[in-house]
Each structure stands twice: as structure tokens, then as C-alpha cells.
């Protein structure tokens, strides 16, 4: 039978095969590395008890040499793999778009990548051994750097925005992350700083802020102009219209038909100018006199608009219906004006049939889509965009009175609420105006 026969583990199949081939004995010797077995060598013989003491001693020595050879080969292989991994990591660091700096605990630079030299203007040779303070711009106080060093010396990552100075003296802004690295004993030995140049972004932000400030100033001037227009321009118009009405009343018998027509035309012109100024003021107030956006029942908003239009609805014979409307976060006064303008247009541009107007709303992808449908004269598709522009009229004042500003006001109100407005229509088939309001929690 087999000597030192193992019947379990990975050697069992080998031993079974050996028995089939007529081997009668075996000798297993362990492969050792640092006193620990990592394998074994098994020698088979067809003679029972065929291993002598001197042979066993020689085999033990040979097995030990084999173990040392295998261990050396494994270490070499591991070392090769480690070198390959290090080369790969170094290649990644060298090719990184962001500047990378490695310093010792004292802050002296030990390694930089090409992105650092491109950003700062310092060559690798110039940077190695220097302290990063050569990049200081003087834009930050001592407390700024104290907080940075306190953070990283306590083993925490520091992230912030720094204005630094290049070799040529020009300033740049970077987002920097500094990560401390410790040895096996837990002592911090190095810091790795990753720097991203954000100079262009900061310049764009500053330009945007400047434009925003200028726009705020322009809006203030617009508000002041609107105030002047609502008072100083309205008064002369009222005076002109009043005096012309007196002339018409007192001198009606002394003026011929042509003169009366001229007076009537002047009065109408003054009234149109008055309406135009009022509409322009209303347009400007959408942004300058806006109320807070807060929860409002759109059913109540619509009722207010219909109450304001009750005379026009009754005299035109219009029938206005609506579905149940939602509760939304809106400027309710502007929503009233929006409904008034859309319903007024539906009444104004009626066909030969009494106006039939229906308002509905449906929830759609995080917003509410409203529709105001009528049976009026309709609009040709080529005019869909034009009608929302200020002063763009599709008909003469004689055909349909108005200033051509109403739908521009509607557009501005809807956009102020973060929605959009559009129309679908065909001549003679009526029109449906749609607008959306984001479904923010009311």
C-alpha cells in the first residue's frame, strides 16, 4: 500500500491515478516559504518501502531548493506586476488635465505633473524643492491659510477656491483639493493637491453679475419711466380730450360736418393714445409690480376675471364655461389679467355666431396645461408666433379696436411663471390658446 498516502484535497485524484498505474508507495515533501507550506512535492514508487534515509535527505534538500526557486519567481512576478501598476498610475497622473502637486509634510514640492507646469509657468526643475507659497497672490489673509493647514494637518481633506499667481505675475483662480497621506504608523508624510483652473468660469460669472446689475438698473429706470408715463403723459391727453369734447359740445352748430369729423377724429386719437399708454404700463408692470407668488384657487381667479368682463359677456351674448381648475402657486392678479385678455380676445374676434368659450386644465408632466377654446374667426397658422409680439395686429383698428399689446402681456405673464403659451387655430374654425403653469406644491 502507499506510504504517507493522502486521500483528501487536491492530491487525491493524483494518488488514485498512481494506484491504477501500479505505484505502491509515495513520499510527500512540503514546499515551505518562511516556515509556511504553500504546496507539496509527492514522489511515487512501484516498490513498497523503497525510500531510504539518505535518499529522503537528498529529496528534502532538493525540495527546499525548489521552494526557494518558486518563491523567488513569485516575488519577481509580483514585483513586475507592481512596477506595471506604478507605471500605469504614473501615466494617468502625468496625462491628467488637472494640475497635481505632491509635497512633503513640510510643504516642499516633491513632484508635479505637466498640467501644473502649464498652469503656473514654472518648469518641473523650478518647482521641485520649492514651497507652494511662491504661488501666493496676496489675495487671501493669514486666517485663510491657517484654516487650510489646520484641516490637512489633522488628517482631513481641504477643498476650496484659491486665487494664485503664475511665474509671469498674472493671476488665476483654481479649485483645489488637498488630501493628506499617512504612513503605516499613522503619521502624515505627504500631501497631494489637485488643482482645476476655473479662471474663465469666474470671469464669466463676474461678467454675468455685471450684466445683471446693469439690467437691474435698467429695470429701475423703466419703473421710473412708467411712473412718469402714468402721470405726466396721461394728464395732457386727458386735457386735450376734454377740451375737444367742450369744443364739440359748444360749437357744434358753428362747425360744419367736416369740422365735426375732424374733432371726433382728434378725440378718438387721444382715447387711443390713452389706451396705448395704459397697455404699455400694464406690460411693464408684469415684471416691475409683480405680487408674491402664493397658493391660489384658479376657479376663484377665473370668476374674478369673468366678473370684470360681465358687461362685455352680457352685451355680446357670449357663453363662457369651464371645467374644475386646480390650486396653484401663482400671482393671482396677473392670472386674472391673463384670463381677461384671452377671454376678451375670444369675444372681440367672434364669428357670425355668439361666442362660445370654454376653459379647461389638465395635469401633464409636472405642470398644468390650460386651454381657452372659442368658436371665433380663427387665425392662419403663419401668424401663430406673430400675434404674441407687441404691436403686431392682424386687422385694422376699424375692423377690430385695440392696441395689439394684450397677447404680449399674456406671454410675459406666463413666462414670468415659468410656463409657455401658444395657439392652435384655423380660419373660420375658432382658436384654442394654451398656456402652462408649473405644478409647484401649492
Question: What's the pLDDT tens digit per position in 180-202?
Answer: 988 888 899 999 889 989 988 88
How far is 280 from 99, CA to CA, in rounded Å?
55
User: Which pLDDT value is given to residue 33?
Assistant: 74
From residue 346, how far is each of 58, 214, 274, 292, 373 by CA, in Å?
111, 39, 23, 29, 8
Pick the more confident residue, 96 or 16: 96
Q: Which CATH number is associated with domain 9-91?
A: 3.30.450.40
> 235-242 contacts: CB < 8 A, separation 24 or more?
237/270, 237/273, 237/274, 237/277, 238/274, 240/266, 240/270, 241/267, 241/270, 241/271, 241/274
CATH class as words, domain 96-197: alpha beta
Please indicate whether the domains covering 9-91 and 96-197 agree at the CATH topology level: yes
Q: 437: closest CA among 419, 423, 410, 425?
A: 419
> Which of 52-61, 116-125, 239-248 is most confident?
116-125
Query: What is the pLDDT of the chain when averaged over all its residues?
Result: 78
Look at residues 280, 277, 270, 329 and name the one whose alpha carbon lies nearest to residue 301.
Answer: 329
**The architecture CATH gives domain 291-442:** 2-Layer Sandwich (3.30)
pLDDT tens digits, 147-179 = 999 999 999 999 999 999 999 999 999 999 999
Q: Please say whether the beta carbons of 4 and 27 come within 8 A.
A: yes
Give, as one character, the DSSP assignment of residue 136.
B
What is the pairing mode between strands 109-112 and 99-104? antiparallel
- Residue found by looking up cell 406644491 in the block: 441
Query: CB–CB of 351/377 below 8 Å?
Result: yes
Q: Provide the Cα torsion 426, 427, 432, 434; round to 10°.
A: 70
Calculate what percentage of the chain has a pLDDT beyond 90: 23
The full set of domain ranges for the chain reads 9-91, 96-197, 204-289, 291-442
Q: Which residue has the cell 371645467?
A: 323
The beta-strand segments (E) located in 5-107 are 25-33, 36-45, 99-104
Q: How far apart are the C-alpha atoms of 237 and 242, rounded to whole Å?
A: 8
pTM of the entire predicted model: 0.45
The winner for highest mean pLDDT among 238-242, 277-281, 342-346, 397-401 is: 342-346
Whole-number pLDDT of residue 343: 92
In this predicted structure, which of 51-55, 142-146, 300-304, 399-403 has the lowest mean pLDDT? Answer: 399-403
Q: Are 368 and 362 in contact (CB under 8 A)?
A: yes
Bridge partners (DSSP) listed for residue 59: none
Give residue for cell 484535497.
Answer: 9
Q: What is the pLDDT of residue 359?
A: 94
Amino acid at each position: 500500500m502507499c506510504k504517507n498516502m493522502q486521500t483528501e484535497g487536491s492530491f487525491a485524484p493524483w494518488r488514485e491515478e498512481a494506484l491504477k498505474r501500479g505505484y505502491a508507495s509515495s513520499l510527500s515533501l512540503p514546499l515551505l516559504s518562511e516556515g509556511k507550506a504553500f504546496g507539496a512535492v509527492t514522489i511515487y514508487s512501484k516498490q513498497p518501502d523503497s525510500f531510504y534515509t539518505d535518499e529522503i535527505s537528498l529529496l528534502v534538500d532538493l525540495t527546499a531548493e525548489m521552494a526557494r526557486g518558486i518563491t523567488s519567481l513569485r516575488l519577481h512576478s509580483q514585483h513586475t506586476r507592481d512596477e506595471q501598476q506604478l507605471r500605469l498610475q504614473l501615466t494617468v497622473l502625468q496625462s491628467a488635465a488637472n494640475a497635481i502637486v505632491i509635497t512633503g509634510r513640510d510643504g516642499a514640492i516633491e513632484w508635479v505633473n505637466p498640467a501644473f507646469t502649464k498652469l503656473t509657468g514654472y518648469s518641473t526643475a523650478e518647482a521641485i524643492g520649492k514651497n507652494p507659497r511662491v504661488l501666493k497672490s496676496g489675495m487671501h489673509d493669514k486666517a485663510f491659510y491657517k484654516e487650510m493647514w489646520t484641516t490637512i494637518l489633522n488628517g482631513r481633506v481641504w477643498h476650496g477656491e484659491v486665487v494664485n499667481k503664475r511665474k509671469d505675475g498674472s493671476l488665476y483662480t483654481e479649485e483645489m483639493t488637498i488630501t493628506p497621506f499617512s504612513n503605516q504608523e499613522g503619521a502624515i508624510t505627504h500631501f497631494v493637491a489637485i488643482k482645476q483652473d476655473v479662471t474663465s468660469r469666474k470671469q464669466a460669472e463676474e461678467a454675468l453679475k455685471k450684466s445683471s446689475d446693469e439690467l437691474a438698473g435698467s429695470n429701475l429706470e423703466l419703473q421710473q419711466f412708467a411712473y412718469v408715463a402714468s402721470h405726466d403723459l396721461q394728464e395732457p391727453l386727458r386735457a386735450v380730450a376734454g377740451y375737444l369734447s367742450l369744443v364739440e359740445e359748444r360749437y357744434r352748430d358753428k362747425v360744419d360736418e367736416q369740422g365735426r369729423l375732424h374733432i371726433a377724429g382728434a378725440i378718438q386719437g387721444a382715447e387711443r393714445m390713452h389706451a396705448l399708454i395704459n397697455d404699455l404700463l400694464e406690460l411693464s408692470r408684469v415684471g416691475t409690480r409683480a405680487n408674491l407668488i402664493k397658493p391660489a384657487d384658479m376657479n376663484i381667479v377665473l370668476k374674478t376675471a369673468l366678473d370684470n368682463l360681465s358687461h362685455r359677456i352680457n352685451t355680446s351674448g357670449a357663453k363662457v364655461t369651464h371645467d374644475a381648475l386646480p390650486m396653484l402657486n401663482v400671482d393671482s392678479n396677473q392670472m386674472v389679467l391673463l384670463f381677461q385678455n384671452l377671454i376678451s380676445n375670444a369675444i372681440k374676434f367672434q364669428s357670425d355666431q355668439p361666442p362660445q368659450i370654454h376653459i379647461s386644465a389638465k395635469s401633464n408632466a409636472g405642470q398644468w396645461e390650460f386651454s381657452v377654446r372659442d368658436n371665433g374667426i380663427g387665425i392662419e397658422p403663419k401668424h401663430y408666433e406673430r400675434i404674441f409680439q407687441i404691436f403686431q395686429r392682424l386687422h385694422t383698428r376699424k375692423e377690430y379696436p385695440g392696441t395689439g399689446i394684450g397677447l404680449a402681456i399674456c406671454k410675459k405673464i406666463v413666462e414670468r411663471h415659468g410656463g409657455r403659451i401658444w395657439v392652435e387655430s384655423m380660419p373660420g374654425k375658432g382658436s384654442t390658446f394654451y398656456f402652462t403653469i408649473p405644478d409647484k406644491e401649492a
